[in-house]
Structure 1
Amino acid sequence: MLSLYVPATGWLHRMPAGPKLAMLALVAMAVAALPSTWVTAMVLLLPLVLYAGSGMGVGRGLRVLAESVWGLRWVIVVTAAGQLIFLGLEPAVANTGRVVAALLVVNLVPVSTPVSALLDALERGLAPLARCGVDPGRAALLLTLTITTIPVIARLAAEVRDAQRARGLRPSLRRGALPLLVSALRHADDLGEGLAARGIR
């Protein structure tokens, strides 16, 4: 299972997974609730401060931030373009800024939390749902797999694009969709076999 975890010993990495999840979720929700004004675009400074001051080291934190922004490039393009067409420049800048800032803040959870600790925290948080017939362990596993599979798909898409360039082709969605689908299904099969081998069905 691919993990986004970046080993470090800073305050964010030492913070228990449960409180960290709650804190970063509240910060992300506060960012998302900001008004659509020019000033809101300044919220993009928040991820800069959090990544640089998370205890990974300023240089390392900024590199992780840059990689995260690059991973969101299409989200940024699509969000900005749609907002610009339908709402205008100021709302487009403000709304794109707060969406990107919220996603970058949330991304600090898998960056600073091992998958096992994240799974345990989610399972404890979902425990009250057991009264409704929900298996907290399975629900937590599903959420954790979702979080960790997103970067896998992004990596597979990058590999498909690199393969197209190596063959002298210009990367395109039409040519890359089928190889990406095959790679994603192969990953799903491998993941399913791994879970079955551990007795999880």
Structure 2
Amino acid sequence: MLSLYRPGDGILHRMPAGPKLLLLLALVLAVSLLPSWWWSAAVAAGVVVVVYACAGLGDGLLGMRELARQTLALRWLIVITLGLQSILLGPEAAVANTARVTAAVLLAGLVSLTTRLTDLLDAVERGLRPLDRLGLDSERAAVLLTVTLTTVPVVARLAGDVREAQRARGARPGLRFFAVPFLILSLKHADQLGEALAARGVR
């Protein structure tokens, strides 16, 4: 299964998957609950910068190179969200809401970057195991939550790979030349994901 995990020895790499997931989820929740004011965008951006700087991603720039790459991969999400909300809610709310959404996605991506997928899956499954008494299948729920959490950064990485390959070949930019290889890579990833889930006995 395709994973974004990058080996390292930073704080988040050394932290167990369960506490790390709870910490980042708490940060996502805190950012999401910020009011729709101008300063909320600055707070959301500041939280992301600090967390990436402390993550120990080993990119030579205190995580800022990786943060820039992840943000660039989300540029269309940012543009569309900002544009639509500017029309519907006004500039202040649009900027604040877009910053909060972007921050939440970037923090979720950091989980994938610093945690092996198997460790993350095991941590979520352990956390949900007490709910088995209520009829919840903790293993299936853990798989669903883990796949959901890692899908956005994985798809963003696939999009980045397509763009880099096109630039290397000197291909003209455009949706038509981007969509076909991106769709092929996405379907290939879906097949790999299905095979990985089948290997774990998930049907």
TM value normalised by structure 2:
0.83
Question: Residue 48 of structure 1 corresponds to which residue in structure 2?
Answer: 49
Q: How does 1:16-35 map to 2 (within 5 A)?
A: 16-35=16-35
- Indicate if the aligned counterparts of 2:54 and 2:62 stay in contact, CA closer than 8 A: no
Pairs within 5 Å for 1:59-70: 59-70=61-72
Measure how far apart 1:38 and its partner are. 1.2
Which residue number in structure 1 is paired with residue 127 of structure 2? Answer: 125
Find the aligned partners of 1:9 and 1:119 in 2 and give their Cα distance.
Answer: 21
Per-residue CA shift, 1:78-104, capped at 9, x if unaligned? 110011111111111111112212222
Distance 1:86 1:12 in 2: 38
> By how many angstroms is 1:193 displaced?
3.7
Is the Cα contact below 8 Å between 2:158 and 2:186 reproduced in 1?
yes
Unaligned runs of 5+ in 2: none
Q: Is the 8 A contact 2:5 2:114 kept in 1?
A: yes
The answer on whether the counterparts of 2:109 and 2:150 sit within 8 Å (CA) in structure 1 is no
Residue correspondence of structure 1 range 9-158 to structure 2 within 5 A: 9-43=9-43, 44-57=45-58, 59-158=61-160
Shift of 1:161: 5.5
Q: Following the alignment from structure 2 to structure 1, what is the Cα–Cα distance between the partners of residues 34 and 101? A: 10
Equivalent AA in structure 1 for residue 83 of structure 2: A
Q: Which amino acid aligns with 1:21?
A: L
Q: Deviations over 1:8-51 (max 9, x none)?
A: 11111111111111111111111111111111121211111111
Which whole-Å CA distance do the structure 2 matches of 1:14 and 1:126 have between them?
A: 23
RMSD of aligned Cα (Å): 2.6
Aligned AA (1:8): G
Whole-angstrom distance in 2 between the partners of 1:122 and 1:180? 30
* Distance change (3 Å), C-alpha of 1:73 and 1:128: same
Q: What is the aligned partner in structure 2 of residue 172 from structure 1?
A: 175
The alpha-carbon distance between structure 1 residues 64 and 128, as it changes in their structure 2 partners (threshold 3 A), is same
3-state SS in 2 of match to 1:126: helix
Between structure 1 and structure 2, the one with the greater Rg is 1
Separation in 1 of the partners of 2:175 and 2:195?
31
Q: Determine the C-alpha separation between the residues in 2 that align with 1:197 and 1:39.
A: 47
Give the superposition deviation at 1:183. 4.2
Please list every run of 5 or more consecutive structure 1 residues that lacks an aligned counterpart in the other structure.
none
- How far residue 60 of structure 1 moved from its aligned partner, in angstroms, is 4.9
**What letter corresponds to residue 115 of structure 1 in structure 2?**
L
1:174-189 mapped onto 2 (5 Å cutoff): 177=179, 180-189=182-191
CA distance in 1, matches of 2:21, 2:130: 17
Q: Is the 8 A contact 1:2 1:148 kept in 2?
A: no
Q: Distance in 1 between matches of 2:17 and 2:199?
A: 27
Q: Measure the CA separation in 2 of the matches of 1:200 and 1:65.
A: 33
Is the CA contact (8 Å cut-off) linking 1:164 and 1:171 kept in structure 2? no
How far 1:122 moved relative to its partner? 0.8
When normalised by structure 1's length, the TM-score is 0.83
